[in-house]
Amino acid sequence: MPHKHLYKSNTNKVFAGICGGLGEYFDIDPVLLRLIWVLVVIFTGVVPGVVAYIIATFIVPEHSHHQ
């Protein structure tokens, strides 16, 4: 079984491709992940969720077909 890597999605992205990349990694519909993320942000406070997304945009690498 090949080792999976988390990357930002190049094809399924709205902002930075984080939810699209998570969807590809976990084989889950990215729209569902986006809805869950919005609900979590609304119910836990906007600032922590937005900060986590911004941090993820810097930490999660872009997908390169050469890797």
Which pLDDT tens digits describe the chain residue by residue (67 residues)? 678 888 898 888 888 889 899 998 999 999 999 999 999 889 888 888 889 889 999 999 987 765 4
Calculate the CA dihedral of residues 51, 24, 9, 3 and round it to 10 degrees.
100
Q: State the pLDDT at residue 48.
A: 86
| Planar angle of CA 17, 22, 24, nearest 5 degrees | 95
Side-chain-facing half-sphere of 5: CA atoms under 13 Å: 11
User: According to the model, what pLDDT value does residue 27 have?
Assistant: 92
pTM: 0.78
Helices (H) and strands (E) in the chain, counts: 3, 0
